[in-house]
Amino acid sequence: MGFVIELGIISLSLLFIATFIIKNKNPPAILGIYQRPNGFFYFKFIFMFTILSLKKLGHKFRKRKQMEEITALDRPQKLSAHPKAIDAVYFNGANKHGDYLVVGTARRKNKLVDGFLYLLVESSGFGLLETPKLPGTALYQSEESEEFAAEGLRIEPQVPMGKWRISYEGKMKRFENRKEFVDVKIEAEWSSTLPYFNFDSDMDPWAMATSMAYETFSREYFQNLKANHQTHYEQHGDIKGVAIINGRSFSIEINAVRDHSFGLQREWRNFHRYGLHFVTAENGDRFNVGKICLPISFSRLTIGYVYSAEDGKIHPVRSCDLELHQHGEGGDPPEDYAFSFETGKKRYVMQVNVVHSPHFYISKDWESKVVERLCTFEINGMKGWGAAEWQYRNVREKKLKMKLLLIVLFAIFCGSSLQLEEKENFRDSHISFKRSSTTNGCSELQIMQCKFRKCILGAYCVNGVCKCNIPIK
């Protein structure tokens, strides 16, 4: 009897200690953004893994009906009534010879289309080409239309889940010299017989449960999940066509992935950042793997899949050790890096080498910056090619432009010449003034000292004397 009482006391003590530890284990988020496991992490994981596994099992029984539903959705969708409604398609591809094509159109309200196109035909000698408005992406339709088309760029479905037409006619500018324009006409067709990946039903329950367990569960949390839900599916295939650049014709033959996203709304201001990798390997395998930080829903979401050419099936990514806070948190994504990930059957190590790294700003307010990275890859020793897309929240947005305009007007009024330096890192963008020839009487040290002068809009040096652009009274 005494033994039973002692055992009960020990058990209650251990239960009390465990409860105390669980309730008090609540580490702060990394950088105040990326959540870490708290005391309830494993309970939340088990709970969500059970629910998501049962949900996925249910999807398997209705796979055929799902295919019919996706086929019906593989065309432009009617925009919702929400002011941030979206219907978007995106293609990116490359080949082993160093050719790249990346194109996207996102239909928004009021004739707005967030659109862009990058083209690199290695043998052309023109280098990387981009559409004229880049880094801006706000294109406009002449009339409200349920088409992925605006300002010379057009993407049209031909056969659901089978063929899409991509065309462009107009000017493009050289990435290496944005003042130089060329005439471009593109006629191409994306086609595929490969299976698709539906992010609603095909994600690995383990990866999703882990990503959700990091977050604080509440009524508001699950309401945010529902409010920000979008239908998103992807399919790998190939693009074949012709690009005519300044009258010269070049063939396009690349491996390419395409996606289609639509939903009630997409608020880019909710995204902190993401890093995604779209790859074709030399053995025919296809990949999409990465991490997303959308703090109101997932601060550390693992996504992705692998299409295996060997068995002709898609395997969802279960885990990935790429951590966003360790790579380019300040706004400059890495140029040469590696990470590992695994599906249920295999582990992969992916090395990334960036060839070109243009960037653009999404929509009319520039609320998000996307670095569209054209890359070569190595996956488990195999060569690969494709793109890596890194996104950052652009906290300054385009409202900064009005401030710049006022500064320019002030500079003109004062007889100054304005120099605007825009670095790759948008957070480092800054403004400086230069007086024309009047700085000749200053040494480099004096000019440097002037930069540290506390002035409203900086200072300039004249004959060894620092003066403020706006005099301080």
pLDDT of residue 436: 33
Q: Is residue 30 part of a domain?
A: no
**Do 320 and 462 share a structural domain?**
no
Residue 8 lies in a domain: no
Residues 136 and 209 in one domain: yes
- Quick one: 96 and 228 in the same domain? yes
- Final residue belonging to a domain, choices 367, 393, 419: 393
Domain count, the chain: 2
Tell me if 459 is assigned to some domain.
Answer: yes
241 falls within a domain: yes
Q: What pLDDT is attached to residue 69?
A: 78
Residues 379 and 425 in one domain: no
9 torsion bin: left (phi>0), alpha (psi -120 to 50), beta (else): alpha
pLDDT at 62: 72
Q: Which pLDDT belongs to residue 119? A: 99
pTM, two decimals, is 0.81
Residue 17 lies in a domain: no
Q: Which stretches of the chain drop beneath a pLDDT of 70?
A: 1-25, 63-64, 399-473
Kindly state whether residue 138 falls inside one of the protein's structural domains.
Answer: yes
Residue 401 confidence (pLDDT): 55
* 88 shares its domain with 207: yes
Q: Are residues 347 and 439 in the same domain?
A: no
Question: Which CATH number covers residue 70?
Answer: 2.40.370.10
Q: Is residue 291 part of a domain?
A: yes
At 466 the pLDDT is 65
Residue 69 belongs to some domain of the structure: yes
**pLDDT value of residue 468:** 59
Pair 333, 416 in one domain:
no
Which amino acid does the sequence have at 392?
A: Y
Are 389 and 443 part of one and the same domain?
no
pLDDT over 90 for what percent of the chain? 72
Indicate the residue among 363, 393, 423 that finishes a domain.
Answer: 393
Q: 106: domain range?
A: 52-393
Degrees to nearest 5, angle at CA 271 with 269 and 277:
140
Same domain, 303 and 423: no
Burial class (CB in 10 A: 0-12, 13-18, 19+), 364: middle
Last residue of a domain, one of 346, 371, 393: 393
